[in-house]
Amino acid sequence: MQSFRTELEDINNPVVQEDIIRLERQIRLYREGKIDDDKFRSLRLSRGIYGQRQPGVQMVRIKLPFGRVTTQQLRRIADISDEYASGNLHATTRQDIQIHHVSLDRTPELWTKLEEDGVTIREACGNTVRNVTASATAGVDPKEPFDVSPYAYETFKYFLRNPICQDMGRKFKISFSSSEDDTAFAFIHDVGLIPKIRDNERGFKVYIGGGLGANPYLAVPVYDFLHEDKIIPFIEGVLRVFDRYGERTRRMKARFKFLLENLGVERFMELLEEEKKALSVHSYKINRDILPPPVMAQELNGVARPVIDEEKFEKWRKTNVFAQKQEGYFGVYVKVPLGNLSSDHARKFADIVDKYAANELRVTVNQGYLIRFVREKALPHLFAALDKLALAEPGFDSVADITACPGSDTCNLGISSSYGIAAALEKMIKEEYPDLIFNNDIKIKISGCPNSCGQHTIASIGFHGSSVKDKKGGVLPALVVLLGGARLSDGQGIVAEKIIKIPSKRGVAAMRLLLDDYEANALEGEYYHNYYQRIGGRKYFYELLKPLGDLTNITPEEYIDWDEDHNFILHTATGECAGVIIDLVATLLYESEEKIGWAAEALDLGYYADSIYHSYGAFINTAKALLLTNDIRVSTQIQVLDEFQKNFCESGAFPDVGNFRDFVLRINRNEPSEAFALQYMNDSHKFLKDVLAFRENQRVSVEVK
C-alpha cells in the first residue's frame, strides 16, 4: 500500500490502480473460501460496497466530497447505474449518490469506470472517515466569510487512504458550514466547522463529539477560532486519540461521541496534546485554488422567452431560487422526490445544466441538487426545461420536501417503509396544504430504523420505522413520532423528542393532526421548535396523538406496510453501517505482516509518519492476536497494550520490549523522522516474529503433552 497522499482521483494514478486490483483479488479469494466473511465484509465496506437487504446484490455508495459533482461525472454515474445497477441514482443526506442491485463481482470494473471521471467509492462506508460534507451554497453564499469548498476538499484528500483512519472502531463524520446559519449541521458531527474571520485571518469555530443514531448527542465547542492552517492537524490528532482509546467491542458504544463523554473534554484535549509531536504535519496550508473553476454556459442573447406556466414559475422562483454573492447570478435548487433520479433523467438534467448554468452541481443534505451560476435571463428557460422532467416543483426544503432514507426497500437495518410513507405525506401536503411550500421552517424527516440516516432526530416532525404487536401477538409496521428538533445557528441545535409509536398507516392522519394544530395555535412567525415548547412539549403532543396509538380496533390494511401487498414481516439482519469487529487470530497476524510491508513502502517513499503508523497498527494487531489465543478480549487499543504487559511481559515472555505500553507509545514521543520510522518498523517486525515463535512453542508444548 503506497502513501495515501495522492492528487485528484485518477484511474492512471498507481495508488488507485493498486486499490482496485486488490479489491478484485480479495473478491476472488473470498469466492474461493480463502477469506472469511467478517474480514471480507470489512474490506468491501471501506470500498463503498454495502450489503443489501436483497441477497446476492450490493449497494455501491459513490463518494462526492461536499456534494460536488460535475455534469460529466453525473452522466458517468448514470451510465454506470444503467450498466451495473438498477438505473436509479439515490442522493443521500451525506451528499453521496448511491446505486443499488450491483453484482459484487462487477464492482472492480464499476470502480475503474468511475475513476475515469475522477469519482471514487473508497471509504464511502465502513469504519473510516466518511464523506466530508459542506453547505451546498459554499462558494456562492452571500453570507459566507469565505468559500469552504477547498477546505472540505483538502480534508477529504488528506484523510483518504490515510493509515490513521483505516481501521477505527466506528465511522467518523466531518462537516464544513458556509456561514453561521450552519446549513451543514456542525452540531451533529464528530468534527463540525464554521468559518470565521479574525484580524483578517481565516479560521473556524470547531465543534466535536456530535452524532445522531438511536442516542443523539449535540457537539460541543472546543475552539471559537482555530486558524485555517491548524484544521487538518487538529482533525488528525482527534482521529489518533479516537483510534487509540475508542471502543472496539461494543458496537453501540464505539462512536466518538461516547469516547468524548467518557473522557470529558478536558481529558480528551490533554490526550490530543500528547499526540502533537507524532502528527504528520503541524501546519497544513490549504490550497484555495485546488478546485477548477466552473465552466459557464453561454449567454442567451436574442433567445425568446419560452411559454411557461407563469404562476408556477413565480412560486418556483420564490421558493427554489436565490441570488448568489456573485452579482447577476442565481442559485437554483432542484427538488428531487426521495432523492431518486432515474439515470435517463440524470443525463437530460446534466444537459440542461450545461446549457443554462455552470457545469458543477452540488448534492444537498436534503437529497436534492443545487444548480449554480444561472443568469437571470436564463431562469425561465431553465424552468421550462426542468419542468419537462418534473424537476421544477416549487417548495424546495419546505414542509412539502420530505427527507427519507431507503429504509426497508434496500437496507438490512430498515424495519418499515420510509419511501412509502414519505410519498403519501408529500401527496397529502400538496393536496391539502398547498401553501406550505412557502414554509421552510418545518422540516419533515423519515428513517427506516432508529439509526437516523434520514436525520429524523433533528426534524421538526420526524418518524422512524419500527414495529408493534397487537393484543394477539400479530405484528404491524409502525412509526415512532418525534417532534421539536431544529437547527439553530452557529453550531447550536435541538434534538427532537420521542412522542409516541403508531401504526405506519396512521402516519398521514398523524401529520394532518400536527399541521392542523400548528395552524390553529402557532403565533405569527413563530418557529416550530418554539411553538412545540410553548404549547406544552411532549406531554401535550402525546395526548394529541394518543388516539392514533390505540390498537383496539386495527383494520386489515394496517397489517400491510406502505408500497407492499402482503402482511408485514419483521425483517431482522445485521447492519453494515459501521463495519465489523475482526477478532480472528490468523487474520490479525496476517494483517500485521501486511502493515509492516506498507510501513516499508511508505519509508522508502519518505512518508515517515505513515510508516510509523503502519508499524504501530502491526504492534496492536500482533499483541491482540496473542491475547485472543488466551481468550483475553479487549475493547480499546490502550487495553491491548496494558493487558499484553500484564499477561505476557510481566512473566518475562518478551524481555526485549520492557514495559510494552511505553515501548509501543514511543510513537507519541518522537518526531516522525527517517531514523525513528526505520527503528520502529524493525521493532514491530521483530515483535511479530517473536510472537509467531511464542505461538509455535505453545503449539509444540501442547503436542508433546
pLDDT above 60: residue 406: yes
pLDDT above 50: residue 610: yes
pLDDT above 50: residue 147: yes
Helices within 459-536 (DSSP H only)? 507-521, 528-535
Q: Which three cell numbers stand for residue 574?
A: 445485521
Is the alpha carbon torsion for 142, 144, 145, 150 positive or negative?
Answer: negative
572, 53 Cβ separation under 8 angstroms: no
pLDDT above 80: residue 580: no
Whole-angstrom distance, CA of residue 320 vs CA of residue 569: 40
Q: How remote is the C-alpha of 72 from its chain's centroid? A: 24
pLDDT grade for 451, boundaries at 50, 70 and 90: confident
pLDDT grade for 192, boundaries at 50, 70 and 90: very high
- DSSP assignment of 644-696 equals HIIIIITTTS-TTTSSHHHHHGGGGTS---HHHHHHHHHHHHHHHHHHHHHHH
Structure confidence at residue 576 (pLDDT):
54
pLDDT above 80: residue 167: yes
157, 606 Cβ separation under 8 angstroms: no
**Please, what are the domains in the chain?**
1-126 (3.30.70.2500), 128-293 (3.30.413.10), 310-388 (3.30.70.3340), 403-559 (3.30.413.10), 585-704 (1.20.120.330)
Task: Quote the percentage of the chain above a pLDDT of 70.
Answer: 95
